[in-house]
Structures are given as structure tokens and as C-alpha cells.
Amino acid sequence: MRPGSYRVIFDPDTIAEDLAHATKAAREIGEQAVARLQRDGIPKDLIYACNAEGQDGTRLPGCAKTYLPAPDGRCGMVFALRGDEHGHPFMFCLAFGVRHPPRDSRRPSVYQVAHRRLNAPHNA
């Protein structure tokens, strides 16, 4: 992992689900990002705080996001900051997807997917 970066952890089933639901172009962006982030971590300067409450009703308090491809791509990942058994921080990927799908799209945004996963009853 590179200095000044957080380690990134992915749940294999969750990221596979997100990549399977992505368009071909978004899937390529996601696959490249996953490989890079698993290898190098994520630089702290590419992490941005999520709004605790979004205009679309999402609640992502304490979460962070990154834009893919950097610096301002149309895709993104949402993370929760967690710690391992030794107290070392890492970013746990909650979701990957399109940041702001077209209004006529039925696809949820990456923020809506992260909200659903973060606020699911089993996470309470």
C-alpha cells in the first residue's frame, strides 16, 4: 500500500453484484478501480465526505466517497471507515455505481445503494 493511503476492503459478493448491474463502460471502470484499490489502497486526497443526509433522502453519516475515474468521473464508490482488530483504519466499500443516473433511469445511484446497505435492518 502506498504512503498516505487507506487500505480498501471489498466484500466479494457485494462488489460482484454492483459490477453485474453496471453498464459495460461502468463495469470496466469498476473492475480497474477494484484491482488498483486492492493493490495500492486509496489516497487520502481522493476521499470526500458524503453528506450525512442527501437531497434524495439518503442517509450516509460518517461515510466517504470517491469519484471514478478520478478526479470527477461519473461513477463512484461509497465507503465506511472501519478499523481492524489492531486498530488500523481501513475503508470498507459499501457500493460502486453511477453517481447520478439520468432522471428517467430506474437504476439507483451509488448513494442510494450504499444507503440501503448501510441502513439495512441486519446492520442495526
Query: The C-alpha cell of 22 is what?
Result: 453496471
Tell me what percent of the residues of the chain surpass a pLDDT of 90: 85
Sign of the dihedral defined by the CA atoms of residues 107, 111, 114, 115, in that order: negative
Sign of the dihedral defined by the CA atoms of residues 88, 93, 124, 20, in that order: negative
Would you kindly state where each structural domain of the chain is located, as residue ranges?
5-123
Q: Return the bridge partners of 97, or none.
A: 76
Contact 2, 36 (CB under 8 A): no
pTM, two decimal places: 0.93
Fold designation for 5-123: YaeB-like fold (3.30.2310)
Sign of the dihedral defined by the CA atoms of residues 18, 20, 23, 28, in that order: positive
Task: Please provide the average confidence, as pLDDT, over all residues in the chain.
Answer: 94
The predicted-structure confidence for 55-95, as pLDDT tens digits, reads as follows 889 999 999 999 999 999 999 999 999 999 999 999 999 99
d(CA 26, CA 104): 18
Name the DSSP class of 49: E
